[in-house]
Copies of this chain bind each other. A is one copy, B any other.
Amino acid sequence: MKKLINSPEAVVDEMLDGMVAAYPERLRRLDDIEVLVRADGPVSGKVGIVSGGGSGHEPTHAGFIGDGMLDGAAAGEVFTSPTADQLNEMIQACDSGEGVLCVVKNYEGDVMNFETAGEMAEMEDADVRQVVVNDDVAVEDSLYTSGRRGVAGTIFVHKVAGAKAAEGADLDEVERVANKMIDNVATMGVALTSCVTPDKGEPTFDLPEDEIELGIGIHGEPGTERVDMMSADEITDHLTEKVLEDLDLDEGQEIITMVNGMGGTPQSELFILNRRLQEIVDDHDLEAWDAWVGDYMTSLDMMGASITIAAVDEELKELLTATADTPGLTV
């Protein structure tokens, strides 16, 4: 498979430099490591919000650095956790003295390395907390993960934690709203094709021309079932019902939805899914407060999509609509 790269080993390094070259007034790279931070950070008097994980999910996470969202993002190699040293340096670079909240997707390597990094940073007197996002309803326990995986719902957590911190809230309050969003969000995805990692250069798994994989992860991990190809409406029905079953919402509940592209999916197809999604939301007598459609949490060039739904209250709505000024999201 062809890719627009120079070498598999240089992908992450050159991608980060290319991001800084695009947004030199917004992003700064820490010396010699694969971490981007706000060019104007750390912001005095503000709790730092950081995230990170394997690369290949762009614009996640570095694309969400900026006013109202993240202060820093650590990029591991493709689908590989950042190291504890790397995370520690990021945490310290993003600490203005008010403490740092780490938004961690639930993968064993990420959770372990963020924990170690937090302990290292605390030895330097930083106040560090972790919240772990586990929104993927497809599977309990899987390759790389104990419990549910963290996927596209992570972006809502970045948004509310970032907005709360931008208000000047303290670390307790920022952690509280992040966990509130985590408790109220659920996601499920589908793959039409496998992604192709730069080092392997061929599909991670084989998916025949007439089959799709439901409940897929974002690193090509197995899903819940492989089924015959279905229509966009049938796929949307399946994903949405699983998400709604998990959330078990009352009639009239206000929600925010996200149709997330996996990287290789044309935007037209995401809107076709959104059309059906909003019909289902109406059929369930839920109140569609807001709808996001786009590529937020990708899996390289995978064709497919995920559907995320979160219950929102007045506090979450205010935080979701607060100003954000990042390369990947402007509100």
Contacts and interface: CB of A to CB of B under 8 A. Distances in A.
B58 A22 contact: no
A237 to B, nearest CB: 12
B55 A271 contact: no
Contacts of A143: none
Interface string A176-189: 00000000000000
A235 B5 CA distance: 10
Contacts of A327: 293
A18 B275 contact: yes
Interface of A: 1-7, 11-12, 14-19, 21-23, 55-56, 58-59, 63, 192-193, 209, 212, 229, 231-233, 235, 263-278, 291-293, 295, 298, 300-301, 303-305, 327, 330-331
Given A4-B273, A4-B305, A272-B18, A58 B266 contact: yes
Contacts of A275: 14-15, 17-18, 21
Contact of A233 (B6, B192, B271, B276): B6
A266 B56 contact: yes
A4 B232 contact: yes
Contacts of A58: 266-268, 271
Contacts of A231: 5-7
Contacts of A330: 330-331
